[in-house]
Amino acid sequence: MKNKAKITTCLSFTEKLIKLAQANAGGEILSLASVSIVDKTEEGMSRSLEALLSAGKVKTLGRLVLMVPRYQATLHYVRLPSTRPDELSQMARLQAAKQIPYDPKEIIFAHQLIRENPDGYSDVVLIIMHQDVVKKHLKALKKNKIEPEEIILDVQGMCRWFEFQPELKSESPAMVVDLDGEYARIDIISFRGPALLEAAGESARNRMPSAGFIYSRAFSIVLSPAEYKIRLGEEINRSLSAYEKEKIGLRPRNAVFTGADEALKYIDEDFLGSLGLKAVRYAQGKNIRMGASSEVKPKDLQGSSFAGLFGVVLSDQAYSFSLIPEDIIQGRNNAVYKYEISKTIVLSILIILTIISGMFLNVRERKKVISNLSRELDSLSGDVSRVENKLKKISYVKNQFQGGSCLDILAEVFRLSAEDINLSLFSYSFDNSLVLKGQAKSLSGVFNLVNILEKSPVLKDVQLRHSFERKIQEEKAVDFDILCRLEKQ
């Protein structure tokens, strides 16, 4: 299918359905569609997707976003001793690797900042998903000759939908319950403050969403109308209890129930009043504009929730994290690098031909050629710079995949560290410098670690750059920052 930037498409895979929503650049929904997944194998999902795309409603995909369900990911909350985005990224990756029984190469890691604390620590939610989950969906897309630009969780789409509902905005977090047929999800969403937007980095700050999730939990719910409200109430209480236990935000004051129209019928005033919150039913299509030529019908919203898909296709804001596997990211970087190389070669050939042709022109024509050549060189300099940057990045990635030395160094450091040492940051640079940050129970423990590292045959120039003693829950802790260099082998 042809790609047109004016169209945005979102594909969502759930347990039993593949759903699709499309919108144009004017913020109008063009089409909604869904198809049942009869066979959950890769081949069966591919056939279901083919049936969805060939049904006649979809003429072009444009920018494609793949949305995977929350229940296929694991969320874990941690407090990290930094507020710098680059350090948080490294610390989050180390923490995520501790939470899983799999080889880190088999896992997709991501993290989202929840808040920065006055003591210099940050509350972060780790997002962990096995690569097989995502790649199963990608194979179904590849067989239909399509590839997504982004891969996200459905809760990220719900945050976008929430931003299109101005009457729901409040200073305190809100609990949003998305009812989707036989599946439901409880999200606690908060509007982001200046600190979180600042932490996103200057390049993405203007496109960061103003709302983000701080808690999300999904569960199946297939019951009779009489039991539906009882089970849903139990799941809400269970989710709020788990949320408060994590101590990551204020208790929600508002509750919003949205999703499939058929499911919303079970949510009556008695149920809303029993929650102890300011609770409302809210149609998923409210404040969502349908295009004049759209084929969307009310029945499309009866049995399924498209709220998250609406949020994705109507927003062009940057995502705080993506679930694209690392090997695909590397492949895309290689493709960009090859394109830049090809572009440079073509420009070089044009310059050579221009020089040769200039030998046979008169003086006036030669001056014109020189002027054109100067402009080409100016243009080429930017391309060369980008190629060099891409080459450095690819070389670094290749070293990380092939070298193995970084893991050996990490193993050596852990071998030397005493049991009362807790390492939170391991940073290895091109100039053979190694930075270790962490905590010890006492200052003497820090000095012992420095002495032990100095005796290691693979380390030299060990320096204690910083140490700070403080109390955590009435117990002493010493933060430390050690710099050393690796002996050349």
pLDDT at 308 > cutoff 90: yes
Helix ranges restricted to H, 247-362: 261-264, 269-273, 307-314, 326-358
Reduced DSSP (H G I as helix, E B as strand, rest coil) percent helix, strand, coil of the chain, to 5: 45, 30, 30
Q: What is the pLDDT of residue 260?
A: 92
Q: Taking 50 as the threshold, does the pLDDT of residue 199 lie above it? A: no
Query: According to the model, what pLDDT value does residue 274 have?
Result: 93
Give pLDDT, residue 395: 56
- Please give the DSSP secondary-structure letter assigned to residue 290: B
Q: Which residues contact 114 (CB under 8 A, 6 or more apart)?
A: 77, 122, 123, 124, 125, 196, 214, 248, 249
Choice among 113-127, 283-297, 331-345, 411-425 with the minimum mean pLDDT: 411-425
pLDDT of 300: 80
For the chain, the average pLDDT equals 83
411 vs 402: CA distance, rounded Å? 17
Q: Give the C-alpha separation, 170 to 172, whole Å.
A: 5
Q: What is the pLDDT of residue 76?
A: 92
Q: What is the pLDDT of residues 444-487, one digit of tens each?
A: 888 888 888 888 888 888 998 888 888 877 788 889 999 998 87
**CA 5/CA 61 separation, integer angstroms:** 9
Tens digits of per-residue pLDDT, 427-437? 877 778 888 88
For residue 391, is pLDDT > 80? no
pLDDT, tens digit, 9 for 90 and up, residues 4-49: 448 999 999 998 899 999 999 888 999 898 999 988 888 999 999 9
Asked if 271 and 231 touch (Cβ cutoff 8 Å), the reply is: no
CA distance 436 to 451: 14
Tell me how far CA of residue 467 lies from CA of 116, 452, 479, in angstroms: 21, 17, 5
What pLDDT is recorded for position 196? 41
- The pLDDT of residue 486 is 83
- pLDDT band per the 50, 70, 90 thresholds, residue 170: confident
Looking at residue 475, its pLDDT comes to: 80
Q: Is 422 helix (H, G, I), strand (E, B) or coil?
A: strand
Tokens representing 234?
A: 């139990």
Radius of gyration of the chain (CA): 27
User: Strand pairing partners for 174?
Assistant: 189, 254
pLDDT of amino acid 401: 40
**Cα→Cα distances 270→235, 241, 281, Å:** 17, 22, 12
SS3 107: strand
